[in-house]
Amino acid sequence: MPELPEVETIRRELHALLPLKIKEVIAGKYLDTFLDPKGLIKSLANSVLFDLERKGKYLFWHVHLSSKNKNTKYLLSHLGMSGRWLLHSDIAHLAAHTHLTLSLIPVSPADPTQLPLPIYLSYIDPRRFGKIALLSAQEFLIIKNNLGIDALSTELTTEYLSTIIEKYPRRSIKKILLDQHLIAGIGNYLASETLARAGIHPLRNGKDIKAVEIPKLKTALFRALTVSLRRQGVSFDGAYKNTHGEEGSALNKLVVFRQEYCGICKVNKVVKIFQDGRGSYFCPHCQK
Ligand SMILES: [Zn+2]
């Protein structure tokens, strides 16, 4: 499932192309049933995408409904388990499981005497757990404010980490890290990587985390994020690809997640356990 580094990679690639005008919206047969029950996406023809922000694992395009109507709406995208956005120039052959294709043209073409060529941006999602929705400013703020502090934000201080860990003394530290209402953007692989780099066992509860370990946890999280971001994210089981259809290359730089040997001590075998129904990877030697 795409986590913060994968979603941020997509955001950076798409943000570089803005502003873009939507010339046409081409809906796949499952768009209404799975992704957009209100049917609002189809009304986006002629609107302008002028900004793209991310919080946690959510992307929010800022949209003007036309070049004249400067009322801002927000196009939400959550990739779920297997969602991705793909840029392409050929509309004749859409990838399997394409649910939505936007035909886009630059708002200010480099050469105004030439008709700008459309580029196509498709949303592909084999398992269809993703979400796309057009939101009002109010709906956008409710969703955004419901999320905790973004894992990459400078607002994620050791004080904040201490507060949330103290608040849930009987929850495992891994579960605290995964709670999107507390910290937004961490999923299963980032939680495993963060705890490994901090030397903290994933089954330990909030009350057992010592004050001295909290700065280590913060540094470990930042390091785990940076390792992934630099390599355009982590791909495994073919799920995540960037907007050019390429896999991220961070998997072999991870220290425990889906690794045979621990990348910290380089000696001990990584152990996988099931914790709250999901795989937790850790090194019994490095993580106490
Ligand atoms: Zn180790």
| Range 87-100 average pLDDT | 93
Q: Ligand 1 centre from 41 Cα, in Å?
A: 48
| Range 84-108 average pLDDT | 93
Q: Ligand 1 centre from 254 Cα, in Å?
A: 12
Q: Ligand 1 centre from 200 Cα, in Å?
A: 11
**Residue of 84, 62, 34 whose CA lies nearest to 134:** 62
**Could you give the CA distance from residue 104 to residue 122 in angstroms, rounded to a whole number?**
11
Pairing of strands 84-88, 72-78: unpaired
State pLDDT tens for residues 115-160: 778 899 999 999 999 999 999 999 999 999 999 999 999 999 999 9
What integer pLDDT is reported at residue 36 of this predicted model? Answer: 80
Together in a domain, 212 and 84: no
Q: Ligand 1 centre from 271 Cα, in Å?
A: 10
Q: Ligand 1 centre from 272 Cα, in Å?
A: 13
Q: Is the pLDDT of residue 113 over 80?
A: no
What integer pLDDT is reported at residue 39 of this predicted model? Answer: 82
- Judge whether 124 and 95 are in contact, CB under 8 Å: yes
Whether residue 287 is contained in a domain is answered as no
What integer pLDDT is reported at residue 145 of this predicted model? Answer: 98
- Judge whether 103 and 259 are in contact, CB under 8 Å: no
Together in a domain, 106 and 170: no
Q: Is the pLDDT of residue 109 over 80?
A: no
Q: 213-230 and 4-15 are packed helices; what angle lies between their axes, rounded to 10 degrees?
A: 50
Domain around 209: 149-282
What integer pLDDT is reported at residue 218 of this predicted model? Answer: 98
Q: Is the pLDDT of residue 69 over 90?
A: no
Q: Residue 55 is encoded by which pair of tokens?
A: 């919080």
**Residue of 214, 227, 230 whose CA lies nearest to 255:** 227
Q: Is the pLDDT of residue 24 over 90?
A: yes
Q: Is the pLDDT of residue 110 over 80?
A: no
State pLDDT tens for residues 208-234: 999 999 999 999 999 999 999 999 999
Task: Say how many residues make up the chain.
Answer: 288
Q: Residue 121 is encoded by which pair of tokens?
A: 């941006």
Q: Ligand 1 centre from 270 Cα, in Å?
A: 7
Together in a domain, 30 and 63: yes
Q: Ligand 1 centre from 112 Cα, in Å?
A: 58
| Range 177-185 average pLDDT | 98
Whether residue 64 is contained in a domain is answered as yes
Together in a domain, 57 and 162: no
Q: Ligand 1 centre from 137 Cα, in Å?
A: 47
- Judge whether 119 and 104 are in contact, CB under 8 Å: yes
Identify the weakest region by mean pLDDT among 35-39, 93-97, 267-271.
35-39
Average pLDDT, the chain: 94
Coil/strand/helix, residue 200? coil
Together in a domain, 128 and 161: no
**Could you give the CA distance from residue 250 to residue 270 in angstroms, rounded to a whole number?**
18
Q: Ligand 1 centre from 234 Cα, in Å?
A: 21
Q: Ligand 1 centre from 189 Cα, in Å?
A: 16
Domain count within the chain: 2
CATH code for position 103:
3.20.190.10
Identify whether 112 is preceded by a cis peptide bond (ω within 30 of 0).
Answer: no
Q: Ligand 1 centre from 172 Cα, in Å?
A: 20
CATH code for position 258:
1.10.8.50
Q: Ligand 1 centre from 241 Cα, in Å?
A: 29
Together in a domain, 111 and 183: no
Confidence of residue 31 (pLDDT cuts 50, 70, 90): confident
Q: Ligand 1 centre from 287 Cα, in Å?
A: 7
For the chain, the maximum distance between any two Cα atoms, rounded to a whole number of angstroms, is: 67
Coil/strand/helix, residue 51? strand
Whether residue 288 is contained in a domain is answered as no
**Could you give the CA distance from residue 26 to residue 31 in angstroms, rounded to a whole number?**
10
Q: Is the pLDDT of residue 238 over 90?
A: no
Q: Ligand 1 centre from 197 Cα, in Å?
A: 9
| Range 92-119 average pLDDT | 86
Q: Ligand 1 centre from 282 Cα, in Å?
A: 8
Together in a domain, 162 and 122: no
State pLDDT tens for residues 190-208: 999 999 999 999 999 999 9
Q: Is the pLDDT of residue 70 over 90?
A: no
Q: Ligand 1 centre from 286 Cα, in Å?
A: 4
- Judge whether 281 and 259 are in contact, CB under 8 Å: yes
Q: Ligand 1 centre from 256 Cα, in Å?
A: 8
- Judge whether 206 and 273 are in contact, CB under 8 Å: no
Coil/strand/helix, residue 49? strand
**pTM exceeds 0.85:** yes
**Could you give the CA distance from residue 122 to residue 88 in angstroms, rounded to a whole number?**
8
Q: Which residues pair with 86 in a beta bridge?
A: 122
Q: Is the pLDDT of residue 185 over 90?
A: yes
